[in-house]
Amino acid sequence: MSSVEMVRGEEDARTNKVTDTDTNTNASKNSEKEMVILENISKAYNGNKTNRNSSNVNTSRSGSSTVLFEHIVLDNLNLRITEGEFVTIVGPSGCGKSTLLNILAGIDTSYTGKILIDGASIKRSPDTDRIIIFQEGALFPWLTVYENIEFGLKIAKISKEKRREIVMHYIDLVQLTSFAHAFVHQLSGGMKQRVAIARALVLNPKILLMDEPFAALDVQTRRMLYDQLVKIHEKTNKTILFVTHNINEAVALGDRAIIISPKIAGIKKEFKIDLPRPRQLDHPLINSITNAIIEESKEMYTSNSYFTSRYGNYSTESKPDLELESPQSQLA
């Protein structure tokens, strides 16, 4: 047993957590154990919409009126993810991808439905068993790379010696050993995201939630990070739920790619990507699944969005972000 394995084992016994999957990658690689179960997840926001020439009260001088409505973002969504599975989520802007991740992360608590992680109902609050990584890593700028990664372990009151061993293991995994004592402002965007990944992994989450983690990076850096994330996934066998706007990225990375549709406020279709890794982005199967998803998604990216057709024009301060993208540009 390596020292890190031993360290994690001891800590797990103390903190009552599952053992680190670094040590049993092969054993659980083909496990069909369900790590995440989402049952009938529904989420709605209240909003105002402007109706022209309505007979409603609150009619303004221009003849328009404001009525309250319920914007259903997720409507009885069901999803099951097995241990070690890498699931990617795509869908047009505003379809509810971040909402779903925030619900799982315990950041968004106003939803109905049931979520089980490793067989237990989750608390409606953030927890180290499910950690979310955003587009911007949200690192602490006053701490070094080492200290950022160590932070959660300190909070968990892990001893200094053991913290060091765990942190060094994960810094090595994300290939930042020589930057251990650099500050955040001295890192590139890709390096920052690798720190964010290491910082999440040291806490041994049962699921890693990634909300467009590479969206702010240039194409070259993104491709390098694909390779690194694939290696990290292979070594840790973490269950990953990964949101992206880039369909090609979703297919190249995932064991399964899921399309969320704002029309049905849920999963429209999913594609199993049964291809060994590492994968070439332009592999014929990747291309054909990417094209199939683009085809499937076309109607969702038309200029007249489902949101507008269903709900009219939003007129609250929390204006929905309905920026539209061309699915064709996804192949870039």
Q: How far is CA 332 from CA 8, 275, 303, in A?
A: 41, 21, 21
Which amino acid is it at 154?
K
State yes or no: residue 23 binds Mg ion (CB under 5 A): no
CA separation for the pair 118, 19 (Å, rounded):
13
126 with 118: CB under 8 angstroms?
no
State yes or no: residue 248 binds Mg ion (CB under 5 A): no
Q: Which is nearer to ligand ATP, 93 or 246 (CB)?
A: 93
State yes or no: residue 98 binds Mg ion (CB under 5 A): yes
State yes or no: residue 266 binds ligand ATP (CB under 6 A): no
Interacting residues of 78 by C-beta distance below 8 A, sequence separation 6+: 38, 39, 40, 41, 266, 267
Cβ neighbours, 10 Å, residue 276 = 5
Q: Which is nearer to Mg ion, 65 or 93 (CB)?
A: 93
Q: Which is nearer to Mg ion, 101 or 139 (CB)?
A: 101
Q: Which is nearer to ligand ATP, 86 or 307 (CB)?
A: 307
Kindly state the number of chain residues that form the binding site for ligand ATP, as judged by CB under 6 A.
Answer: 16
Cβ neighbours, 10 Å, residue 186 = 11
CB of 174 to ligand ATP, least distance (A): 25
CB nearest ligand ATP: which residue? 320
In this chain, which of 7, 36, 73, 257 binds ligand ATP, going by CB under 6 A?
A: 73
State yes or no: residue 88 binds ligand ATP (CB under 6 A): no
State yes or no: residue 99 binds Mg ion (CB under 5 A): no
Length reported for the chain: 332
* 3-state secondary structure at position 217: coil
b (16+ CB within 10 A) / e for 29-57: eeeeebbbbbeebebbeebbbebeeeeee
CB of 324 to ligand ATP, least distance (A): 10
Cβ neighbours, 10 Å, residue 62 = 9
State yes or no: residue 93 binds ligand ATP (CB under 6 A): yes
Site string for ligand ATP, 281-320 (x = CB under 6 A): --------------------------x----------x-x
CB of 44 to ligand ATP, least distance (A): 9
State yes or no: residue 99 binds ligand ATP (CB under 6 A): yes
- The interface with ligand ATP within residues 242-261 (CB under 6 A) comprises 245
E strands along 168-315, which residues? 207-211, 239-243, 256-261, 266-272, 313-314
In this chain, which of 4, 36, 41, 95 binds ligand ATP, going by CB under 6 A?
A: 95
Which amino acid is it at 136?
E
* Exposure on the CB side of residue 72, measured as CA atoms within 13 A: 13
Q: Which is nearer to ligand ATP, 70 or 282 (CB)?
A: 70
Residues that bind Mg ion (CB under 5 A): 98
Residues that bind ligand ATP (CB under 6 A): 45, 47, 73, 91, 93-99, 245, 307, 318, 320-321
